């Protein structure tokens, strides 16, 4: 666990600042960044699902998912984009740390490493970090009163965290069907790119639909 955690930590220290730069800069910088990630994700899905019945639906879904990445960044406040990203990352870290430390009953056979402790750890860390993040944003406005914002934000964070964990399980299901452990090996300690953004490619479309249609 220690060596794996060190690899994950080192990769995150390098990747997170790079990602933040492109996200905050926006414009052509973000377009380049998101296009590169899309191409890598499509390649990994191609490798994972070639000649499978779910190949084309997966391609279509990934393209739609990245459209929501693009739309939420260019049509909204980048700080909302970062909030969604933070929730997904916190969910992943919380799930990993709590799951490894507390262990306990397995969540599902689809992903043997997932535990109930990890699931609740993901919820907990996502709420804590989201509240810290929002308390330091003075200009981010929500269409709710101050009396309701606490409850509504917690519900929103929990729902995004849930969808992120659901996305993780969905990709794990397809990896299991394709009899592979990781979608690639591009990120040391993490596996493939899809292994890291599996929750995000579900969480961003979910939030996009919430904002646009609800």
Residue 73 confidence (pLDDT) = 92
pLDDT at site 53: 93
151 Cβ contact partners less than 8 Å away, ≥ 6 residues apart: none
Mean pLDDT of the chain: 85
Q: Taking residues 124-132, what's their average pLDDT? A: 92
Res 141: pLDDT: 43
**pLDDT-derived band of residue 144, with 50, 70 and 90 as boundaries?**
very low
Give the separation between CA 7 and CA 54, rounded to whole angstroms: 32
**Which phi-psi region, left, alpha or beta, contains residue 176 (left: φ > 0; alpha: ψ -120 to 50)?**
alpha
Average confidence (pLDDT) over 53-68: 96
| Alpha-carbon span 133 to 86, nearest angstrom | 9
The Cα–Cα gap between 10 and 4 comes to: 10
| Number of domains present in the structure of the chain | 1
pLDDT in tens, 154-189: 999 999 999 999 999 999 899 888 888 888 877 765
d(CA 4, CA 108): 22
pLDDT of residue 107 exceeding 90, the answer is no
- If you average pLDDT over residues 119-140, what whole number do you get? 83
Distance of alpha carbon 124 from alpha carbon 127, whole angstroms? 5
CA distance 74 to 89: 21
Q: Which domain holds residue 134?
A: 2-213
Q: In Å, what is the CA distance from 93 to each residue of 9, 99, 131? A: 10, 10, 16
What pLDDT shows up at residue 145?
45
Q: List pLDDT tens digits, range 73-102.
A: 998 778 889 999 999 999 998 998 898 888
- Confidence (pTM): 0.87
């Amino acid at each position: 666990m220690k060596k794996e955690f060190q690899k994950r930590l080192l990769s995150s220290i390098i990747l997170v600042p790079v990602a933040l730069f492109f996200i905050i800069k926006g414009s052509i910088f973000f377009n380049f960044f998101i296009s590169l990630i899309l191409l890598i994700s499509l390649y990994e899905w191609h490798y994972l699902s070639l000649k499978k019945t779910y190949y084309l639906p997966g391609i279509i879904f990934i393209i739609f998912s990245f459209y929501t990445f693009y739309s939420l960044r260019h049509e909204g406040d980048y700080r909302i984009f970062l909030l969604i990203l933070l929730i997904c990352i916190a969910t992943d870290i919380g799930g990993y740390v709590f799951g490894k430390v507390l262990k306990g009953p397995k969540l599902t056979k689809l992903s043997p490493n997932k535990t109930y402790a990890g699931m609740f750890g993901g919820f907990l860390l996502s709420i804590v970090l989201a509240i810290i993040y929002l308390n330091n944003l003075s200009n981010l406005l929500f269409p709710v009163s101050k009396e309701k914002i606490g409850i509504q934000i917690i519900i929103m964070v929990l729902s995004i965290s849930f969808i992120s964990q659901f996305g993780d399980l969905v990709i794990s299901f397809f990896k299991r069907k394709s009899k592979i452990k990781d979608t690639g090996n591009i990120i040391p300690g993490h596996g493939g790119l899809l292994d890291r953004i599996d929750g995000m490619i579900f969480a961003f479309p979910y939030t996009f639909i919430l904002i646009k249609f609800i």
